[in-house]
A and B are shown apart, each in its own frame.
Chain A
Amino acid sequence: MSALIALSGAQKYFGAYHALRDIDLEIGEGEFFSLLGPSGCGKTTLLRAIAGFEALDGGSVHIDGHDMAGVPANRRPTNMVFQSYAIFPHLSVAENVAFGLRKRGLDAKTQAEKVGGALEMVGLGGYGARAAHALSGGQRQRVALARALVLEPKVLLLDEPLSALDRKMREQMQGELRRLQRHVGITFILVTHDQEEALIMSDRIAVMFDGGITQIDSPEGLYRRPASREVGAFIGQMNFLSGQVRSGSEGFVAQIHGLGHAPLAADQSAEPLVAGQATFGMRPESLSLVFDGQARAASEAAGRVADRAYYGDMTYYEVALDGVAEPVTLSMKNMVGQPVLSVGDAARVAWDPRALIVFSGAGDA
């Protein structure tokens, strides 16, 4: 087995509640891997099963080729950064970082060097003597990171480590965590409910719903080719339009209410294309406005601005296409010399057929 971490058929029940449904997962060495999903989807349970805090009711966890069944948390080559950081309040910063080194049998000098090095690495050099309670949220998080990384684990597990920080601090820590991971080269597994955070930081992402993994892919793959409507709606924004897939002489053609028709390629659907009712997914940036005086686009539809949100750099429009009740969302960069349309204005909407994703079944969109 080449993967550093391999789960197969992992099952977990809490009473009658099925928390993990048949999880198969392989995570490679040095990978920054995220478990993404809404709260209650089982992502934290999965992380705790890898750490050794939850025993599985079925299936297996292998780390570095060893079966972890019956191996308690204290003997697994994993370390965890807890959501609450779990900094020991009765110990100083240096004592917190040195906590796990006790069993290594290091002499005092080596230990102090390691602790100092770990604190330096997370940007807390010289903070060793501070009392734990005197730290800010961001500093606690760094202590928790140093405390785990000083043990040089094979895998670092992070349970929503940024959720308690304010926005500015969170954005800063996202970059720092990513750099830190590249620097130490340890496999990081991050649990988060924030899709933006997962996209920014990860090499690969597993999207979880209701105890199961729906899709595992790179950030680009997830965004461009969501395997289901659920994933498409959870990651970024997506318009869902109803219509039909027809089979013509030159392959399949999409017929979309309000937008018109366009040819389809095989890779625009997670499942093999078949003729029939379908839901089409489209990101807001794949739709755009055509302004007066601009040439007619290859695929263009008409509608009216139902609502708009102006963000300075971007404007998000809700456009009601002729003959369709539900408006579509589209985003426009606010270029100098281009007007910003107002609510009620007529709108010409150009769309990129290559950006269509086909979900089988009519759905309710």
Chain B
Amino acid sequence: MKDSARGLALVSPTALYALAMLVAPMAAIVLFSFWTQDYLTLDTTLTFDNYREAVTDPIYGQLMVRSLYISGIVTAVTVVLAFPIAYYISFHVAPERKALWIFLVTIPFWTSYLIRVFLWKVILGFNGVLNTSLLGLGIIDAPLTFILYNLNAVVITLAHAFAPFAILPIFVVLERIDRSLLEAAQDLGETALTTFWRVTLPLAMPGVIAAVLIVFIPTVGDYITPRLVGGPGGLMIANMIQTQFLRLNNAPMGATLAVLAMVCVTVIALVFLWLNRRFLRGRN
């Protein structure tokens, strides 16, 4: 068919690019994960040795669990803080100013991610902006140390970095809610608060779940933030993958950890997609 030939022609440059840049490296990673390496010699015999080690050595399991835990907290904090902002923009900002507000929400993206992480170091540090301000105001006697080089710092930094990603999908879904549904709920006896629980929130859930996925998936694999502000207690699985590849010269082990991390994220993402299908039930 002529149409399908044209469609194929249109999509093929992109498809080839995706094949070369996404599928091929992924395939290489999966293949590597079944090989082994001893110092410089690469043993290309296919084996489950790496997977066995990854599952039995507690350090890997701990890092994986910690990564998921940090991402979970970051996701929860980000989405819970993003919802009121999205709600405010959608329901209380005059229609002609909404575009301006959304524009303002994206301002953090004007600075590179790396620089923003560095800035959090400046803010949260022992002699940082936050501590010196609080000391100067006499609110604290000694600098706070629980806010940098640990898990808290990673959560704060990542939650800030991903806030716009959570605000936008929630905003979009709130915008689509027919306002007469909210009036109907009040007409049928609900207060503003119960209307929120019975109508607004259920209708906003697809956006909330999209926000959860958009924040959760990239944060599990983040290694810049844990490396810069995490300290020893805030390191995540991506840092270990990087170490395996670049420091320990054990690419097969790094590949194995990467594959396992992908599997974990995929499983969790599928659970949320299933939830989303339940919330989308009855909508076209």
Cα distance, A90 to B204, chains bound together (Å)? 11
Distance from A14 Cβ to chain B, minimum over Cβ atoms (Å) = 14
Q: Which of A175-216 contact B (CB under 8 A)?
A: none
Q: List 28 A-B contacts (CB under 8 A).
A: A72-B186, A72-B191, A73-B186, A74-B186, A74-B187, A75-B189, A80-B183, A80-B184, A80-B187, A82-B180, A82-B184, A83-B180, A86-B180, A86-B181, A86-B184, A88-B181, A89-B282, A90-B279, A90-B283, A99-B198, A100-B188, A100-B189, A102-B189, A131-B282, A132-B282, A133-B284, A147-B188, A148-B188
Q: How far is the CA of A314 from the CA of B39 in the complex (A)?
A: 101
Q: A80-B187, A86-B181, A99-B198 are in contact. List 10 more A-B contacts (CB 8 A).
A: A53-B186, A72-B186, A73-B187, A74-B186, A80-B184, A82-B183, A86-B178, A90-B283, A99-B188, A100-B188
Quick one: CB contact mask for A111-137 with B, threshold 8 Å, 1 for yes?
000000000000000000001110000
Which residues does chain B contribute within 8 Å of A151, judged by CB atoms?
A: 188-189
Q: Which of A48-90 contact B (CB under 8 A)?
A: 51, 53, 72-75, 78-80, 82-84, 86, 88-90
**Alpha-carbon distance between A131 and B283 when the two chains are bound, in angstroms:** 9
A233 an interface residue at 8 Å Cβ cutoff?
Answer: no
Report yes or no: B283 in contact with A86, Cβ–Cβ below 8 A: no
A109 contacts B by Cβ under 8 Å: no
B residues in contact with A247, CB < 8 Å: none
The digit string for A298-325, where 1 denotes a CB below 8 A from any CB of B, is 0000000000000000000000000000
Closest 9 interchain pairs by CB? Answer: A100-B188, A86-B184, A131-B282, A86-B180, A73-B186, A74-B186, A80-B187, A82-B180, A90-B202
Instruction: Flag if B283 contacts A73 (CB, 8 Å).
Output: no
A contact residues around B181 at 8 Å (CB): 86, 88-89
Q: B181: nearest residue on chain A (CB-CB)?
A: A86
User: Does A103 make an interface contact (CB < 8 A)?
Assistant: yes
On chain B, the residues within 8 Å of A83 by CB distance are 180
B190 within 8 A of A: yes
A53 touches B183 (CB 8 A): yes
Q: A267: shortest Cβ distance to chain B, in Å?
A: 43
Chain A residues within an 8 Å CB radius of B202:
90
- Residues on A with C-beta less than 8 A from B199 are 88
In the complex, which residues of chain B have a beta carbon less than 8 angstroms from the beta carbon of A73? 183, 186-187
Asked if A277 CB lies within 8 Å of chain B CBs, one says no
A92 touches B184 (CB 8 A): no
Partner of B283 from A84, A100, A102, A133 at Cβ < 8 Å: A133
Chain A hits for B284, CB < 8 A: 133
From 143 to 199 in chain A, residues with beta carbon under 8 angstroms from any chain B beta carbon are 147-148, 151
> B224 at the A/B interface (Cβ < 8 Å)?
no
- Looking at chain B's contact residues, the main secondary structure is helix
CB contacts (< 8 Å) of A100 on chain B: these are 188-189
* A340 in the interface (beta carbon within 8 A): no
Chain A contact residues: over half helix, strand or loop, or mixed?
Answer: mixed
A82-B180, A84-B178 known; A90+B188 contact, CB < 8 A:
no
Size category of the B interface is: 20 to 34
User: Inside 8 A of B283's CB, which chain A residues have their CB?
Assistant: 89-90, 133
Q: Is A91 an interface residue (CB 8 A)?
A: yes
- Cβ of B217 to closest chain A Cβ, rounded Å: 26
* Complex Cα spacing A72 to B279, Å: 30
B281, CB-defined interface residue at 8 Å:
yes
How far, in Å, is B283 (CB) from chain A's closest CB?
A: 5
Question: A91 to B190, Cβ gap below 8 A?
Answer: no
Q: Which of B186, B198, B203 has the most CB of A within 10 A?
A: B186
Q: Give CA–CA (A265, B221) in the complex, Å.
A: 92
Residue of B nearest to A91 (CB): B282
User: What B residues does A90 contact at CB under 8 A?
Assistant: 202-203, 279, 281-283
Name the A residues within 8 Å of B279 (CB-CB): 90
With a CB–CB cut-off of 8 A, which chain B residues contact A79? 187-188
Inter-subunit contact B203/A99 (CB<8 Å): no
Q: How far is the CB of A150 from chain B (nearest CB, A)?
A: 10
Contact with A along B173-213 (1 / 0, CB 8 A): 00000101101111111110000001100110000000000
Name the contact of B282 in the complex, choosing from A80, A82, A102, A133 (C-beta under 8 A): A133
Assembled-state Cα–Cα distance A84/B184 (Å): 10
**Interface set, chain B 238-284, CB cutoff 8 A to A:** 279, 281-284
Q: In the complex, which residue of chain A has the Cβ closest to the Cβ of B183?
A: A53
Give the most central of B181, B188, B189, B190: most A CB within 10 Å.
B188
Q: Is the CB of A86 within 8 A of B190?
A: no
CA distance A89 to B284 in the complex (A): 9
Residue among B183, B189, B198, B279 having the largest count of chain A Cβ atoms under 10 Å:
B189
B281: chain A residues within 8 A (beta carbon): 90, 131
Give the shortest distance, in Å, between A55 (CB) and chain B (any CB): 14
Of listed A90, A91, A151, residue having the most chain B CB within 10 A: A90
From B180, B184, B202, residue with most partner A Cβ within 10 Å: B184
A-contacting residues, B20-36, CB 8 Å: none
Please, how many angstroms separate the alpha-carbon atoms of A82 and B190 in the complex?
16
CA distance A78 to B189 in the complex (A): 10
Q: Please report the C-alpha to C-alpha distance between residue A1 and residue B282 in the assembled complex, in whole angstroms.
A: 47
Residue in A72, A74, A78, A89 whose CB lies within 8 Å of B203: A89
Closest to B199 in A: A88
B184, A74: Cβ atoms under 8 Å?
A: no
Q: Which residue from chain A places its CB closest to the CB of B198 in the assembled complex? A: A99
Q: B residues within 8 A CB of A148?
A: 187-188
Q: Name the B residues within 8 Å of A82 (CB-CB).
A: 180, 183-184
Nearest-Cβ distance from residue B280 to partner chain A, whole angstroms: 9
Asked if A74 and B282 make an inter-chain contact with CB atoms under 8 angstroms apart, the answer reads no
Q: Which residue of B lies closest to A144 (CB)?
A: B184
Q: In chain B, what residue has the closest Cβ to A95?
A: B282
